[in-house]
A = this chain, B = another copy of it.
Amino acid sequence: MSVLRRLFEKKTLARDLLALSLVLGATAVQAEGPSLAEAYKALASRKMVDLTHSFSPSTPVWQGFGQATFTTASDPKTYRPYTLEKDGFRTTFYSMVGQYGTHVDPPAHFHENGITLDQIPLREMLLPLVVLDITPLLGKDPNHAITVQDILDWEKKHGRVPEGSFAALRTDMYKDFGNPERFKRHPFPAWSLAAVQFLFEKRKITAIGHESLDTDITSTLDAEKWVLGQGRYQIEVMAHLDKVPPTGALIVVTWPKVANGLGFPARAFAIVP
């Protein structure tokens, strides 16, 4: 057997093992706290807040991608669109870039060997949520990028950012979503590289999210590149971060399982104490 072939088979085996472990989820830790039935009761009795925009062909998108098109799905043989009257059902055919609407960016979006969105563990889809609000700073500088000092100030009021949490940046920019030209402005309120480095390295958070189309305003997308380079995902174009508390909520954040996915529309919602 050639060395190359052996290498390939090893890689395949490793991939199969990875796939298997992803299917089964991370090895279960010892069950802690209340039963699942009690936990369910606690979650189901709370208010839930949608952190996701509805998306359509007119949704603001980065100009380098272009708008999605939604058409009535048709029979691929006759090109006749399906109708409720003739066929008993109707549905839609989508043509769109993965980075559309509220969406997930996996590490592979920016990095050759980064994991794709089908490889992100289920365990990272239910997390404590912290919301870092920089709206009070935007009067003075409408394009303020959150600093490490801003995070330390936040911690003085709300306690330490919990390990393993999802940190969302509140800017109220989501309110411009219905005005695509304003929503796509540059610069915009954003993350700084130092802030995301502090959150992932010192606070050991799991993921970030923000309301804008991009993580930061540098031409090389330094903060985005760094976050994805850590093997971490981010959620872009989030909504309603003004409707959840700074701390104490949980976020459910998932996306369809696109094989080798480099980005796709996602759904995020908060469960509020």
Using an 8 Å CB-CB cutoff, how does the interface string of A74-96 with B read, 1 for contact, 0 for none? 01100000101000111111111
B262 pairs with A91, CB closer than 8 A: yes
Which residues of chain B are within 8 angstroms of A123 by Cβ–Cβ distance? 44, 48
Interface-facing stretch out of A97-105, A130-138, A144-152, A192-200: A97-105
- Looking at the assembled complex, report how far the CB atom of A117 sits from the nearest CB atom of chain B, in whole angstroms: 10
Using an 8 Å CB-CB cutoff, how does the interface string of A44-65 with B read, 1 for contact, 0 for none? 1111111011111000000011
Residue of B nearest to A225 (CB): B88
Contacts A50-B257, A273-B31; A84 near B97 (Cβ below 8 A):
no
This chain's copy number in the assembly? 2
A145 to B183, CA, bound (A): 51
Contacts A24-B243, A97-B91, A256-B101; A36 near B31 (Cβ below 8 A):
no
Which residues of chain B are within 8 angstroms of A88 by Cβ–Cβ distance? 110, 220-221, 225
A56 to B248, CA, bound (A): 38
- Looking at the assembled complex, report how far the CB atom of A68 sits from the nearest CB atom of chain B, in whole angstroms: 9
Q: Does A42 interact with chain B (Cβ within 8 Å)?
A: yes
Contact of A36 among B28, B250, B267 (CB under 8 A): B250
A108 to B73, CA, bound (A): 14
